[in-house]
Amino acid sequence: MNMQRNPVGWFEIPVNDMNRAVKFYETVFGFKLELHKMGPVDMAWFPMLQDKEGAAGTLAKGEGYKPSHEGTLVYFTAHSGDLNNELSKVKDAGGKILAEKFSIGEHGFVGLVEDTEGNRIAIHSMK
């Protein structure tokens, strides 16, 4: 097998209230999401940078999408370099801190968050 990219190519985070969820993610991470309609599903795409590491994804609202703490855990990169910066915005954006910044050894640090829709997400940084 010749893998030239990371194995994850796309992710979808379920939401109940698209406007509220978009505001949360834009506030915490400081980037703009693009609204799209894909058949019966409303989506808000995260920025997609060509030839960069990581996977692109979207917020998704529609039949079959149910926010949850269970299931897949998506790790967002703290582009500020220190996830405490992103964590400091979570409460004001309507989310909850589930676990403050903690070490994962040589792989850096993680914080766990509940977004406005009830999804559990992680934020990662190396320092």
Look at residue 5 and tell me if it is in a domain: no
Among 41, 22, 21, residue whose Cα is nearest residue 32? 22
Instruction: Convert the pLDDT of each residue in 6-53 to its tens digit.
Output: 778 899 999 999 999 999 999 999 999 999 999 999 999 999 887 777
Look at residue 1 and tell me if it is in a domain: no
Predicted confidence at residue 2, as pLDDT, reads: 58
Predicted confidence at residue 49, as pLDDT, reads: 80
Q: What is the pTM of this model?
A: 0.92
Look at residue 2 and tell me if it is in a domain: no
Instruction: Supply the range of the domain harboring residue 78.
Output: 10-125
CATH of the domain at 60: 3.10.180.10
The number of folded domains in the chain is 1
